[in-house]
Amino acid sequence: MPDLITLGPWLRRFLCEYIVTERNLARNTRKSYRDTFSLLLPFVSRKVRKPVDRLAVSDLTSRLTLQFLNHLEEDRGCSVRTRNQRLAAIRAFARFIGSRDPTYVEWCGHIRAIASKKSMPSPVGWLTKAEMETMLVVPDRKTRRGRSEYALLLFLYNTGARVSEATQLKVRDLQIGGDNGKHDLATLHGKGGKTRQCPLWPETVRALADQILGRSADDAVFVSRLGTPFTRFGIYRFIERCTAGVPDLADRKITPHVIRHTTACHLVLAGVDINTIRAWLGHVSISTTNIYAEIDLTLKANAVALCEVGQPSRGRSWKEDKDLMTFLKSL
């Protein structure tokens, strides 16, 4: 079967050349695209009863694509956001083929015409300051392992770091213990290769300094009990263990991203302007950060009080001020 008809060579060029060299997409985005086709190809193979290596471009029809998206939601239990994320990868692949072979322009149009499903944004979960302080007490700081876990949890709360940013943090990314009057900082490597610096609290600096003592610059800051760098899964499990140690949080799902939301909400309550919070969290658009300005009832109550009905009137109208009217007529 010619290479221009078979799906495999197109997919190899898309995953290994196009999104890496031409688009220079972030590593996590590439993994997401890879995972999409790891699920899609076996699904299409079963439907058309062909081996994966013999699938043709024309086998990936819009009808099968819709069936695959329904399979994600109904059989795999994926959310609408995940469904739309997988669809975005398939659309990008269709656009790649259609832009390079005119015979597939019509096929590309059918795939790209599949609409994203509208989803309601989930409410932002976050912890109060008292709840966060209770979680910080859970690690047993009398042990080295407990001090390591305390440093990780405090770092997540201090910086609002994403899980990937915490796992990638190296000793060289910390600027602490300087005597030149500068702030203690952590350099975070975020989405799309972007970096940002976050100031550290003195308590965070003390906890981190204990962790990196005697370590080389290329070592990971946060390591597991086996001495290997923390993984994303490891940090999720760690947060689950901390949550289990707080009875008041037993019925709530607390994740590392909830800690990130908590940092943002506490900055809002402290009166930090929204653009500073955007830079703190590493958001590209301030519209992403605006959700934190809408979630606190205290802020909403203060806003309502400014326009409360039934407040006393300011007094008589300026038109009834005879002295003022006389002055205006004299002009």
Q: Is the pLDDT of residue 25 over 80?
A: yes
Residues 90 and 147 in one domain: no
Residue 257 annotated to the active site: yes
In this structure, what token pair is assigned to residue 222?
Answer: 């946060």
Indicate whether 152 and 98 sit together in one domain: no
User: 145 with 105, same domain?
Assistant: no
Residue 19 DSSP symbol: I
- Residue 1 within a domain: no
Residue 45 has pLDDT above 90, yes or no: yes
Residue 323 is assigned to a structural domain of this protein: no
Q: How far apart are CA 289 and CA 267, in angstroms?
A: 11
Quote the pLDDT of residue 63.
96
The tokens describing 82, both together, are 């995940």
Residue 324 belongs to a domain: no
Q: Is 236 inside a domain boundary? A: yes
Average pLDDT over residues 262-270: 89
Identify whether residues 176 and 297 lie together within a single domain: yes
Task: Taking each helix axis as running N to C, give the angle between helix 202-212 and helix 144-159, from 0 to 180 degrees, rounded to the nearest 10.
Answer: 140
Angstrom CA distances, 248 to 21, 128, 134, stand at: 49, 12, 10
**102 and 142 share a domain?**
no
How many structural domains are present in the chain?
A: 2
Task: Looking at the structure, tell me whether residues 278 and 151 fall in a common domain.
Answer: yes
Flag whether pLDDT at 89 surpasses 90: yes
Whether residue 51 is found in the same domain as residue 141: no
Amino acid identity of residue 31, one-letter, is: K
Query: Per the structure block, which two tokens stand in for 296?
Result: 């606190």
| Annotated catalytic residue, options 260, 261, 266, 278 | 260
Question: Quick one: average pLDDT of 251-258?
Answer: 91
For residue 28, the enclosing domain spans 7-112
User: Are 177 and 277 in a shared domain?
Assistant: yes
Told to judge if 110 belongs to the known catalytic residues of this protein, a careful annotator would answer: no
Q: Please indicate, yes or no, if residue 257 is contained in any of the structural domains.
A: yes
What is the rounded CA–CA span in Å between residue 123 and residue 102? 44
What is the per-residue DSSP string for 260-327?
HHHHHHHHHHTT--HHHHHHHHT-SSHHHHGGGGSS-HHHHHHHHHHT-TTPPP--S-GGG-HHHHHH
Q: Which of these three, 55, 85, 112, is where a domain ends?
A: 112
81 and 133 together in one domain: no
| Annotated catalytic residue 292 | yes
Enter the pTM of the model. 0.73
> Are 198 and 138 a contacting pair, CB within 8 Å?
no
State mean pLDDT over 45-66: 95
Last residue of a domain, which of 112, 140, 158?
112
Q: Indicate which residue of 95, 141, 191, 196 is catalytic.
A: 191
**Pair (47, 137) in one structural domain:** no
Cβ atoms 116, 87 nearer than 8 A: yes
The answer to whether residue 62 is domain-embedded is: yes
Q: Is 10 helix (H, G, I), strand (E, B) or coil?
A: helix
| Confidence bin at 309 (pLDDT 50/70/90) | low
Residue 118 forms part of a structural domain = no
| Options 83, 86, 162, 266, the catalytic residue | 162
pLDDT-based confidence at residue 190 (cuts at 50, 70, 90): confident
Residues 274-303 have pLDDT tens digits of: 888 888 898 877 877 877 766 655 555 655
* Amino acid sitting at position 66: L
Where does a domain end: 112, 138, 153?
A: 112
Residue-level pLDDT at 3: 56
Report the pLDDT averaged over residues 91-103: 95
Q: Which pLDDT does position 197 carry in this prediction?
A: 92
Residue 187 has pLDDT above 50, yes or no: yes
**Local confidence band at 1 (pLDDT 50, 70, 90 cut-offs):** very low
Average pLDDT over the chain, rounded to an integer: 87
Q: Which of 2-11, 65-74, 292-301 has the lowest mean pLDDT?
A: 292-301
Average pLDDT over residues 218-243: 92
Residue 176 shares a structural domain with residue 256: yes
Q: Does a structural domain hold residue 255?
A: yes
If asked whether residues 213 and 298 sit together in one domain, one would say yes
Helix, strand or coil, per DSSP, at residue 75? coil
